[in-house]
Structure 1
């Protein structure tokens, strides 16, 4: 859930101080790929911590009667549009293209607020929920679009179709900057009966939207299953800050978008997908401010993500390792130290995969094979899909005369040294 907050305010410290702080927590660090102990936490407690109280408010509806001396003035039902229209037919057509997503999401404890080294913190998992939209298929997979924040750092994903059949899914590609992801379900794992009941969504043109048009939101609200809400387009091209360092241009709507709706469909009154539900303004004083990613803005990214290879975790003994020690540069640290978000390379281990590759100490890794990396946890998760001997392309930022310059480095992943360092 996104929150609109004031930008972080503080006097930037010397950039080198980040390296010194990272050094103080370097002891005990191990290679990328080390597996931390996993424990489960209570669903209610985790949900409360992540989402807050889902029963924090109610919506009241009021009606105003027309004066008795005047006859009611209204167009014939067929000519009316907007949320007052019976949307049953639209929903019945669109619902088979929307899925519910359940996940287990990994979290790792941090040390001193400056990230962690692999193996340096304890990992735990919490259940999560979201929604997705079926956008097509290839020769072997059904393709579903959702939000990146629904699938990031997940250890498992399950997709539930309109007929309540659940099938395991895997991440195919993500774009954290636009909060988009494509997940895939093997066609061979979907029953013929379910295949006959699901459908592909019809994508519309969000550039043609106008403020005041009626819209319908479909999604897995609070993880209870598919639900429908109706509202209007409240604003277009609304710049919403999603972190201390980035904003997104979104559709604003008063159709209710709650936790679990993320990744679901925002439809126009022709049943076309014109937005991907993404966020709700988080404030006790504000209601009726939901946001969706415009589908016209997302199409080019989705075309690219659908061509990525599907990510499936490699068994630990065959998993590739990068051979570095590093720490996260999160959004707050990026503002504080004037650095890009990503993974700060504190040390390159002699004899490791990255040794001699062109990657340097104090570089900041921002992408792996084109996928954004904003934390150690994200880097660890991405590397778990690669085997020893595979090549990866790292996008890194190197400081040159006080300015960060971007370039790429190719690394052939290696095995984990026997020393575990």
Structure 2
């Protein structure tokens, strides 16, 4: 143990319980010790006695000396531990010692001289206090924070200056996906295409025209068959030929020839090439490049006939015949606890035709922003992952009872998948085939862009939907709103996104009039709120761009 860490005894107080250190019971004074002829060494104090004090003042109550009494050390210093008592547990001590920093100097406990100098600088005063420099790790941390902050500022500035890159063409009803979405996340929750995915060979050319067939029979819903349920193996063999892959490519506005590609699942609805999938799988647009890959690995160019964002359903058409259409069943014959199977392409076409199983967890589930038009959903614990969207949920009689939607299932809970009941959506599907749109849907006649809380704070604005453009037949412009104004509420409900606004519109009919709160003149710095009343238009496909 280093002597510098030892604390001296209080000379006016003895050990509590005696000296626990090794000692000799001797009362000799320093004058009785023999002096060395060849050394000019001062006498050493007794145990508990400080340099320069009298023997009486330095004695402990027991009169014992420190360890190794009578021994001397070369250089005039006492041997280890000699010259002061070793502190025992419970004994008193000075937190800084009598040789601590006192009256601007240090007393040196290693020497008995009367005027010791600083051990740090023998011939002068204490050196000035040095200032600690910031460590390199801390400097790096602050540099990183600064770079990130600068990047956020630049990103928000770009967002404000070029909003078309974030959500180009998005409107109040369709809420189209950005044309510059990152390929790392696919399109609207679909899986990004991976190199080596199926269907990358030759592609059969698409149809001519828009794919609408006013005389199409559409899908029919069959009742529950009699007899015993099938095994999962037999159900899979019967249904798999009706399951396809859907590949959507969104051209990029920011790079020539570039773009992002997402992969989902589809269901063959008719032998002459109508395919069902989710609206979010096709990117909420009829202008994206679509490809359908059959279970046989044949690939076809596809045309989006129409889609309905409210129910998340889309219909495609390919130039093919003699396909194996699925058999569709009713949810009305199903009960909670019934076994169901999900078939699709989780993870994209690299895992095409995957089968997962579970049961019906609930029926007639209402999902926020997806049930404003009255649609309810099937809840299941069968795994529905990105890439499964648009695929079939099948009962044990090989009937498709639902269209899986990962978009709706993305609620942050594990083991909670949702499917659109086909028997409730049959009318929507058939209208899309025959008309390309669903009658009775409303629109405002504007295009808009979400304004989040971060952007609003940065530019001194407010959350809501910024108006990007106003169509000539829209009542929004006639009511006094302008491009750049921000819609903050509609029909008495706060709106912070296009999904919020779509849900409100879905609960109304064309020609209804609703009140809207608008933050006007937001770009001028003199923003103010005002209320306008707007008449709703019928959406006959105008929002499907």
Instruction: Report the TM-score range of the alignment, normalised by the length of the smaller protein.
Output: 0.5 to 0.7
CA shift in 2, pair 1:305/1:355, >3 Å: closer
Corresponding residue for 1:152?
Answer: 283
Residues 191-210 of structure 1: matches in 2 within 5 Å? Answer: 195-196=321-322, 198-210=323-335
Q: How does 1:269-418 map to 2 (within 5 A)?
A: 269-279=396-406, 281-282=409-410, 286-309=413-436, 327-329=448-450, 344=467, 360=477, 362=481, 374=498, 399=516, 402=531, 404-408=533-537
* Cross-structure match for 1:255: 382
Q: Secondary structure at the match of 1:149?
A: coil
1:212 corresponds, among 312, 337, 340, to 337
Deviation of 1:241 after TM superposition, in Å, equals 2.8
**Deviation (angstroms), 1:356:** 8.0
Give the TM-score, by structure 1 length: 0.54
Question: Gaps (5+ residues) in structure 2?
Answer: 1-158, 170-177, 193-226, 438-444, 456-460, 488-496, 503-509, 518-529
State how far apart, in whole Å, the 1-side matches of 2:515 and 2:270 are.
39
Structure scoring higher RCO (CA < 8 A, sep ≥ 6) equals 1
- 2:5 corresponding residue in structure 1: none
Equivalent residue pairs, number: 290
The correspondence of residues 72-151 of structure 1 with structure 2, limited to 5 A, is 86-105=231-250, 125-136=259-270, 142-151=273-282
Could you tell which deviates more after superposition, 146-155 or 235-244? 235-244
Deviation at 1:408, TM superposition (A): 2.8
Query: Which consecutive unaligned segments of at least 5 residues does structure 1 have?
Result: 1-23, 54-78, 110-120, 311-323, 349-353, 367-372, 379-392, 414-421
Rg comparison, structure with higher value: 2
CA contact (8 A) 2:179 2:253 kept: no
Q: CA deviation at 1:135?
A: 1.2
- Contact conserved, 1:328 with 1:374, CA < 8 A, in 2? yes
1:255 & 1:142 partners in 2: Cα distance? 28
SS in 2 for 1:221: coil
**Is the contact between residue 250 and residue 289 of structure 2 (CA under 8 Å) also seen in structure 1?**
yes
Report how far residue 179 of structure 1 moved: 0.7
2: CA distance between counterparts of 1:399 and 1:199?
A: 49
Say whether 1:180 aligns with 2:303: no
Distance 1:330 1:228 in 2: 40
Q: CA deviation at 1:102?
A: 1.1
CA displacement at 1:363 relative to structure 2: 7.5
Residue 86 of structure 1 deviates from its aligned partner by: 3.0
Tell me, in whole angstroms, the C-alpha distance in 2 between the residues paired with 1:356 and 1:236: 41
Give the TM-score normalised by the residue count of structure 2: 0.43
RMSD across aligned positions (CA)? 5.2
CA contact (8 A) 1:363 1:396 kept: no
